[in-house]
A and B are shown apart, each in its own frame.
Chain A
Amino acid sequence: MRRLIALLPLAVFAVVAGYFLVNLTSGRDPRELPSALIDQPAPQFALPPLEAVGKPGLGTADLKGQVHLVNFFASWCVPCRAEHPVLVRLAEQGTVPVVGIAYKDKPEASAAWLGQLGNPYGRIGVDLNGRAAIDWGVTGVPETFIVDREGRIRYRHWGPIDPVAMEQKILPLVKELQR
């Protein structure tokens, strides 16, 4: 019994060290916070279109009826540039409609950026003052939401989507929701 008590500090240390080890090696970015809006209806918003691109604007009503991928982007955002080809490929496949919200970006800069890299978005809303992004609980671009047929937010991807995240998380969930 006494020997067991002597080992107690070691056991406590092992538990704490194990906790740190798991969290340090999980590869999870501690800046990523869980979204408060999962399973909530998408917020009420109505954003004007990006004139130069010739696609319609985006509002809450446009998200009903089928599954959508809602992507917040900006031409000044470097990770958005990294993620962009993944979105363009997804739009080419036509699996799920991709819609975009230009976050605090000059409309002409967004348009030039999309002209250069290709436009995956069927609808684009211009969120000049970032107020719609606050309603969506966005902490920074890029962020991507999967919205189901009823217009409820089902998933939030924080940061750029890489091909692995697309294949393993986003596409399976989209297919499940489309069923």
Chain B
Amino acid sequence: MTALLRSLALALALLLPLAAGAVEPGEKLADPALEARARGISQHLRCLVCQNQSIDDSNAGLAKDLRVLVRERLTAGDTDEQVMDFVVQRYGSFVLLKPPFKPETYALWLGPAAILLVAGFGVAVFLRRRRTEAVVESAPLTEAEKRRLAALTDGSTP
């Protein structure tokens, strides 16, 4: 049991640096609630130098400057939306790691669903056609065939 607890503690301790991101101790705000909001905002803002990291994860100089800026705005009393808007005004919607839902991004958000719909329609048409092809009605038996069939079944009762 203690061995298990000890390994769990070790695993947690090893994961701790991952949770810390790139935030340097000097950048942190004294107020834990504000710091938590700053971390949340930073995780949704793209670092414009590395582009596939958030500013919370990136060590780039610009990312650090933006982290400090986000904390300054929060301390000055901005809401989360105001801070986001402040950055978007300067760098465009690309800084948002989660793109907003607006006319320019309809294709992005609705595209996959549209493709699924079209593909689903195609599959449905294909399956329906295959089923109707499979149950093609055979021509009814002629009188001669019926008589022959009757003769065969009569003569071969099991």
Contact = CB atoms under 8 A, between A and B. Distances in A.
Q: Do A and B bind each other?
A: yes
Interface stretch (A17-25, A33-41, A63-71, A113-121): A33-41
Contact of A34 (B88, B90, B92): B92
Contact of A104 (B61, B69, B89): B61
A100 to B, nearest CB: 19
B143 to A, nearest CB: 39
A44 to B, nearest CB: 12
Contacts of A136: 90
A139 B90 contact: no
Given A130-B62, A139-B48, A139-B62, A33 B92 contact: yes
Place the interface of chain B in its size category.
10 to 19
A136 B65 CA distance: 14
Contacts of B101: none
A35 B88 CA distance: 11
A35 B51 contact: no
Contacts of B94: 33
Q: Would you call the interface of chain B mostly helix, strand, loop, or mixed?
A: helix
B66 interface: yes
Contacts of A104: 61
B113 interface: no
Contact of A137 (B49, B51, B65, B91): B91
A31 interface: yes
Interface residues of A, number: 17
B103 to A, nearest CB: 17
Interface of B: 48-49, 51, 61-62, 65-66, 69, 88-92, 94
Given A36-B90, A36-B92, A37-B90, A140 B49 contact: yes
A140 B94 CA distance: 16
A134 B66 contact: yes
A7 B15 CA distance: 51
A133 to B, nearest CB: 8
Nearest to B91: A137
A135 interface: yes
Contact of A36 (B49, B61, B62, B89): B89
Nearest to A129: B65
Contacts of B92: 33-36, 137
Contacts of A140: 48-49, 62
A139 B49 contact: yes
A134 B88 contact: no
B130 to A, nearest CB: 13
Given A31-B51, A139-B48, A139-B49, A134 B65 contact: yes
